[in-house]
Amino acid sequence: MTFEVVYEDNHLLAVVKPAGLLVQGDQTGDVTLLDLARDYRKRKENKPGNVFVGLVHRLDRPVSGLVLLAKTSKGASRLSEQFRSREVRKLYLAVCQTEPGARFAVGQKYHWVDRLSRPGTVEEPSAGKIQLAQTNAEIRALGQGVLLAGLEPTTGRKHQLRAQAALHGLPILGDRRYGATRSFENGLALHALALAFKHPTRSEPMLVVAPPPRVWQSFGWDPSLFRPGDDFHLGLPES
């Protein structure tokens, strides 16, 4: 596996992670995005020794899309603080199947506010384990009996988007853990589309965007047509 670079300067490296690639190491020992990013810097900058690549946020292994990396310790520290203080805006796209009793209407915008009992679950909340999860959602029709959802989380719970989509009757394709019955190539039909943040040294507003993989075109929608505006409005194509 490899990645695509969508933005780079002296402090930042914004890349597109393919579904199935780990961001950082785990018990599997598989090659990670960090491994590949370090190798990329070594080759590009002709550095024989160690190079710095700082991880400031993560994506689940089966999710594709944007990951922001830092090339300096200053960049890593300042970007990490932006993520901790929720200054970074994150926009995802998901292809979802529908279930009976789903709470949505095509073409509408929602502010989902849910209580999750534990990270990564949608079970009935239990005392002492409740976490509030909030997401802005916009639903559009798509081909082949599925829906397109634009999702902007305003909190950062584990598996938040996957759990909330399922809770509202819209499990993401390929996400059998949360009730999906339809598979999806290479993982989940969940893609980190855009990040809006401040540059760590220049403090100017930044917007980086990466369209979903080509496989999304099999649902009858051209991902190259969608780009969030400067105001970060979801702005999904009309059904």
Q: Which of 9, 26, 30, 60 is catalytic?
A: 60
* 93: phi then psi, degrees, rounded to nearest 5: -115, 140
Do strands 205-209 and 131-141 pair parallel, antiparallel, or not at all (unpaired)? unpaired
CA–CA distance, 194 with 184 (Å, rounded to integer): 21
175 classed as catalytic: no
CA–CA distance, 211 with 66 (Å, rounded to integer): 9
CA–CA distance, 238 with 124 (Å, rounded to integer): 35
Which positions ≥6 away from 121 have C-beta within 8 Å?
Answer: 163
Polymer length in residues for the chain:
239
Instruction: Output the DSSP codes for 147-207.
Output: EEEEEEESS--TTHHHHHHHHTT-PBTT-GGGT--S--TTS-SEEEEEEEEE-TTT--EEE
Q: Looking up tokens 């980086």, which residue turns up? A: 208
Which positions ≥6 away from 63 have C-beta within 8 Å?
Answer: 17, 19, 187, 188, 190, 191, 192
Catalytic sites, residue numbers: 60
